[in-house]
């Protein structure tokens, strides 16, 4: 059975052929009238020669064919339109088994009460756990090599407005806020003691100077003995939300284990680092991703040799799909330095269903999770059986023998994939960062589930690999969405046309005055129309405008099957 599209096309072809045949018959009738003497030239006889009659017949046939071709050009048949690129790529769903045992109930409780995907609090909880651990303990993935990674992670949660990103992330940060509050109380107590001792030391030193001066005036030998001022306490910080590069350097000097940077709109931070004159800040952030390198700032006004032995930054934030798409295109277009690919992108599907959940938080699950955060925050290298680095700059754990075999087998397959040339440049950059991601997750999972520490378990390695496979699907979704053509606005326009909301043919202005979603700006409308023309859903034509004679207007006609409601898009 012929499809709707084929029937429409056959009908259009038959109409063109009928017009051509009618034109041809009309020309033949005119030729017959001339041959019968009804309309002939001055010197042509009623029975002109045969050659002349054949010539006129051929001219009439050619004229009919030309007219048919002109009609066909004016009303060409519609080819079947090309389907628009499909929607978002599928992603692996979040599994609570990805998490340490003590965090699963807590994350599930947050997700249920917030009615958000568990990915939001789950991924944020793991990044927050990395902030709590900091640089206290690293991991050496190979059995003998000194290659060392730390568990500071960069995370970007992606979701439309209203999907409860910020509340879920805020709930996952509460253990860090609680630890920071306790550290602040300790700092304030130590600061009060410091101020007291500082004042007492100053009074003792003033008295010693007075006695020394008196002895000198009396001609007696005396030695000035001053008490040393006590060392000021350092305030422990876990998070900052808006700091310059110089301020971050100062914070890291007081917090050598690292610090977390949280930005509710992450793309704003990335764009600020793209600006001219921010090259130093961008390099500082890039250095902070691996948690190993040193940094020295020399600024007039701040003094020279502001040295940070280890720049370790965890960067966490959220953004919206459209803002991410714009940034992905820009970052992929300029080659880049891999700043964006350092982020673990989490963009889950959100359920259309919603239900009202009004109950008290699960305090038992929350307290159990907090104990894990507190244990990692207060961890001492000896308490988790960590070995010291050769230069004394830190401590590390290694994989257990069985775990090492699992990791090296995965690493060999992963490196083969990276070198295959089959990945897109942007995905190749993301996957290359898995050399840090997998060991970092293995370290966090092991220490969270194993208080005594020791060699990294096989279960932690398998869990870390599962995390990377999950994150890779989310990265593929985000980067594909960012680099593919804009289809959302084009689909919205097709939906409006199919509903009969536009005249046929229509202009850009006809669309703009409607103020529809995704189609409020002229540039967006033009881009959507251009895509639909390229894919065969619309046809462009130029007509004379009655309002402005001499100035042609561009209008657009929709595919007949779309108007008839027979096409899915």
Are 261 and 240 within 8 A, CB to CB? yes
- CA–CA dist 389, 148 (Å, integer): 10
Per-residue pLDDT tens for 515-559? 998 898 898 899 899 999 999 999 998 877 666 666 678 999 999
Other CB atoms closer than 10 Å to residue 48's CB: what's the count? 15
Q: Is the pLDDT of residue 88 over 70?
A: yes
Query: Pick the residue with more confidence: 70 or 362?
Result: 362
| 214-269 per-position pLDDT tens digit | 888 888 877 888 888 888 899 899 999 988 888 999 999 999 999 999 998 999 99
pLDDT band, very low/low/confident/very high, at 63 (cuts 50, 70, 90): low
Label residue 273 exposed, middle or buried (CB < 10 Å: 0-12, 13-18, 19+). middle
With beta carbons less than 8 A apart as the criterion, state whether 106 and 129 touch.
no
Q: Please, are residues 116 and 347 in contact by the beta-carbon 8 Å criterion?
A: no
pLDDT at site 548: 61
Distance in angstroms (rounded) separating the CA atoms of residues 202 and 196: 10
What does the pLDDT read at residue 184?
A: 94
| Token pair for 21 | 């045949």
Look up residue 564 and give its DSSP letter: T
262 half-sphere exposure, CB direction, 13 A CA radius: 16
Which residues have a Cβ under 8 Å from the Cβ of 70 and sit 6 or more positions away?
none
What does R_g of the chain's alpha carbons equal in angstroms?
A: 37
Beta bridge partners of 388: 395
Say how far apart CA 542 and CA 125 lie, in whole Å: 58
Report the percent of the chain where pLDDT is more than 90.
61
Question: Would you state the pLDDT for residue 200?
Answer: 92
**Residue-wise pLDDT tens digits, 415-449:** 999 999 999 899 999 999 999 999 999 999 999 99
335-344, 348-357, 401-410, 466-475: range with lowest mean pLDDT: 335-344
pLDDT at 77 over 60: yes
How does the average pLDDT of the chain come out, rounded?
A: 85
What whole-number distance in Å separates Cα of residue 158 and Cα of residue 478? 9
pLDDT > 90? residue 107: yes
Query: For residue 481, is pLDDT > 90?
Result: no
State the CB neighbour count (10 A cutoff) for residue 147.
12
- pLDDT value of residue 506: 95
> What's the confidence (pLDDT) of residue 437?
97
pLDDT band at 5 (very low <50, low <70, confident <90, very high): very low
Q: What is the pLDDT of residue 228?
A: 87
The per-residue pLDDT for 326 is 86
| 347: its two tokens | 């963009």
pLDDT higher than 70, residue 300: no
Q: What are phi and psi of 140, to 5 degrees?
A: -105, 105
What is 102-183+243-483's CATH number?
A: 3.40.50
* Burial status of residue 262 (CB atoms within 10 A of its CB: 0-12, 13-18, 19 or more): buried
Could you count the other beta carbons within 10 Å of the beta carbon of residue 444? 26
Q: What angle do CA 441, 446, 451 make, to 5 degrees?
A: 140
The pLDDT of residue 229:
83
No. of helices (H) and no. of strands (E), the chain: 19, 12
Predicted local distance difference test score (pLDDT) of residue 47: 38
User: Over pLDDT 70: what percentage of the chain?
Assistant: 83
> Binning pLDDT at 50, 70 and 90, where does residue 58 land?
low
The least confident of 28-42, 268-282, 365-379, 528-542 is 28-42
CA dihedral 487, 493, 497, 502 (to 10 degrees): -160
Residue 49 pLDDT: 43
Across the range 343-353, mean pLDDT stands at 95
Closest CA to 520 of 495, 491, 493: 493
In eight-state DSSP terms, residue 457 is P
Question: CB of 553 within 8 A of CB of 545?
Answer: yes
Which positions ≥6 away from 507 have C-beta within 8 Å? Answer: 553, 554, 555, 556
Fold entry, domain 488-563: Arc Repressor Mutant, subunit A (1.10.10)
Global confidence as pTM: 0.76
Which whole-number Å values give the CA distances from 455 to 106, 141, 388, 391, in the listed order?
Answer: 27, 11, 14, 21
Helix-strand-coil split of the chain, %, nearest 5: 55, 10, 35
Separation between Cα atoms, residue 423 and residue 187, nearest integer Å:
50
Query: What is the sign, positive or negative, of the torsion defined by CA atoms of 99, 102, 103, 104?
Result: positive
Residue among 119, 99, 151, 124 nearest 437 (CA): 151
């Amino acid at each position: 059975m012929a499809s709707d599209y084929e029937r429409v096309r056959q009908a259009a072809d038959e109409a063109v052929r009928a017009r051509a045949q009618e034109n041809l018959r009309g020309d033949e009738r005119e030729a017959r009238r001339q041959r019968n003497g009804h309309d002939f030239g001055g010197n042509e006889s009623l029975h002109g020669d045969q050659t002349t009659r054949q010539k006129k017949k051929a001219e009439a046939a050619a004229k009919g064919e030309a007219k048919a071709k002109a009609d066909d050009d004016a009303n060409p048949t519609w080819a079947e339109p090309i389907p628009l690129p499909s929607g978002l790529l599928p992603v692996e769903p979040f599994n609570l088994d990805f998490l340490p045992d003590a965090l699963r109930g807590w994350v599930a409780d947050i997700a249920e009460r917030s009615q958000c995907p568990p990915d939001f609090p789950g991924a944020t909880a793991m990044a927050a756990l990395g902030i709590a651990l900091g640089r206290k303990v690293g991991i050496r993935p190979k059995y003998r090599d000194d290659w060392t990674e730390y568990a500071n992670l960069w995370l970007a949660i992606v979701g439309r407005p209203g999907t409860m990103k910020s509340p879920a992330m805020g709930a996952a940060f509460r253990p860090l806020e609680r630890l920071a509050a306790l550290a602040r109380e300790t700092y304030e107590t130590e600061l009060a003691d410091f101020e007291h001792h500082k004042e007492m030391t100053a009074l003792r030193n003033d008295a010693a100077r007075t006695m020394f001066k008196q002895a000198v005036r009396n001609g007696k030998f005396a030695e000035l003995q001053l008490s040393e001022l006590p060392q000021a306490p350092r305030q422990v910080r876990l998070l900052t939300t808006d700091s310059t590069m110089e301020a971050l350097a100062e914070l890291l000097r007081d917090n050598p284990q690292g610090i977390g940077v949280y930005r509710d709109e992450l793309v704003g931070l990335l764009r600020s680092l793209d600006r001219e004159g921010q090259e130093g800040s961008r390099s500082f952030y890039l250095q902070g991703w691996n948690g190993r390198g040193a940094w020295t700032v020399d600024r007039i006004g701040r003094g020279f040799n502001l040295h940070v032995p280890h720049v370790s930054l965890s960067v966490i934030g959220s953004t919206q799909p459209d803002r991410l798409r714009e940034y992905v295109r820009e970052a992929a277009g300029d080659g880049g330095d891999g700043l964006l690919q350092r982020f673990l992108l989490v963009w889950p599907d959100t359920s259309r269903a919603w239900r009202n959940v009004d109950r008290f938080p699960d305090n038992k699950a929350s307290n159990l999770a907090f104990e894990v955060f507190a244990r990692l925050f207060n961890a001492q290298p000896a308490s988790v059986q960590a070995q010291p680095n050769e230069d004394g700059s830190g401590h590390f754990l290694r994989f257990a023998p069985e775990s090492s075999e699992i990791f090296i087998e995965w690493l060999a397959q992963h490196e083969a994939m990276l070198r295959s040339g089959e990945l897109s440049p942007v995905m190749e950059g993301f996957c290359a960062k898995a050399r840090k991601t997998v060991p970092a997750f293995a370290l966090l999972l092991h220490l969270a589930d194993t208080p005594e520490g020791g060699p990294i378990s096989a279960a932690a390695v398998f869990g870390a690999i599962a995390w990377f496979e999950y994150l890779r699907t989310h990265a593929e979704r985000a980067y594909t969405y960012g680099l593919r053509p804009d289809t959302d606005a084009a689909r919205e326009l097709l939906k409006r046309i199919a509903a009969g909301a536009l005249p046929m043919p229509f202009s850009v202005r006809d669309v703009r005055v409607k103020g529809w979603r995704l189609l409020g700006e002229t540039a967006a409308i033009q881009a959507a129309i251009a895509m639909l023309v390229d894919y065969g859903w619309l046809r462009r034509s130029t007509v004379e405008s009655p309002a402005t004679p001499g100035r042609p207007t561009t209008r657009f006609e929709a595919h007949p099957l779309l108007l008839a409601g027979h096409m899915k898009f």
